Structure 1
Amino acid sequence: MPRIRIELPEQFSFSTDITLYVGHMNYGGHLDNALLLSVVSEARARFFGSLGYRELDVEGLGIVIADAALQYRSEAFHGEVMQVRMTAADFGSKGCDLLWCMNEKSSQREVARGKTGIVFFDYRLRRVAPVPEAFRRRATAGTCPV
């Protein structure tokens, strides 16, 4: 089976720091694979917050996760600070990908990279909805270096 390969953009529009706690670790003493996604979920919530949104209120719509892919690059340990960078890309009519990269902050050692596919969802009508143009503009307005 071929391995997943995720190509990252040259620039990201958002960056946040997240400290790893003992609850993020597995029996091997490093970041648990399932809890990696919880760290990415926290970064995603912060990303939306930086744009003035909440995940359940993006111009009156919510988001749902359609798919996720990730690549592990190295171990991460209790007490390390992860710098998680994120950007929106590959917009379709109903959603987009959120590309992300997680590095240990002091050494810049890459820990993981991935992408999360999101679709916009009208929770009142219980159906997918078009990408709000205001979100597309805000999400693609600025970038910061990799």
Structure 2
Amino acid sequence: MARVKLIMPENRIAVITVPVRISDINYGNHLGNDAFVSIIHEARMQWLMQHGFTELNIEGTGLILADLAFEFKNESFYGDAVEITIAVGEISKVSFELYYELSTKRNNKTILLALAKTGMVSYDYTAKKVIAIPEKLKEILNTSI
């Protein structure tokens, strides 16, 4: 079986911390796969908000999630503070890739929890069509921390 293998790009643009909530815990007593998706969504929203944007309004343009990939590495538990490093992959005229490295610290050790990638498309929700990435967002995507 072919497995997803993600490689974190060098162009890191943000580090966001999201706590694991009790509602994120599944029947296996660890962070559920769906909660991992919610955590990267929260991290992406916080990153956009740092720049005065939302997924529905980046200088009048919205974003749509076109694809999603996860590579799970270790369990996460209630009380973990998940540190999400966001990096940028390929950028085209209308879309871009965001990569996420999720980790936590336990007993003074950093534990890699997962790697993820989202394909984001610039979208005009009113006209219901794909449009060019706004220039301000392109600048932010090309700025490393």
TM-score, normalised to structure 2, is 0.94
Whole-Å Cα distance in 2 between the matches of residues 119 and 96 of structure 1?
A: 7
Query: How far apart in 1 are the matches of 2:117 and 2:85?
Result: 11
Residue of structure 2 in register with 1:140 after alignment = 142
Structure 2: 5+ residue runs without aligned partners?
none
Q: Which moved more, 1:43-52 or 1:57-66?
A: 43-52
Q: Does 1:109 align with 2:114?
A: no
Q: Deviations over 1:63-83 (max 9, x none)?
A: 000000010010000001100
Query: For 1:39 and 1:20, how far apart are their aligned partners in 2?
Result: 8
- Consecutive unaligned residues of structure 1, counting only runs of 5 or more, are none
- Alpha-carbon displacement from aligned partner over 1:56-106 (angstroms, at most 9, x marks no partner): 111110000000001001000000110011122200111100111000035
Aligned to 2:78: 78
After TM superposition, the runs of 4+ consecutive aligned structure 1 residues lying more than 4 A away are: none
Aligned partners of 1:57 and 1:108: how far apart in 2? 35
Q: Is the Cα contact below 8 Å between 2:11 and 2:88 reproduced in 1?
A: no
SS at match of 1:115: strand
The one-letter amino acid of 2:92's match is G
CA RMSD of aligned residues (A): 1.2
Tell me the distance in 2 between the aligned counterparts of 1:142 and 1:94: 20
Aligned counterparts of 1:69 and 1:32: Cα–Cα separation in 2: 15
How many aligned positions are there? 143
Q: TM-score, structure 1 length as denominator?
A: 0.93
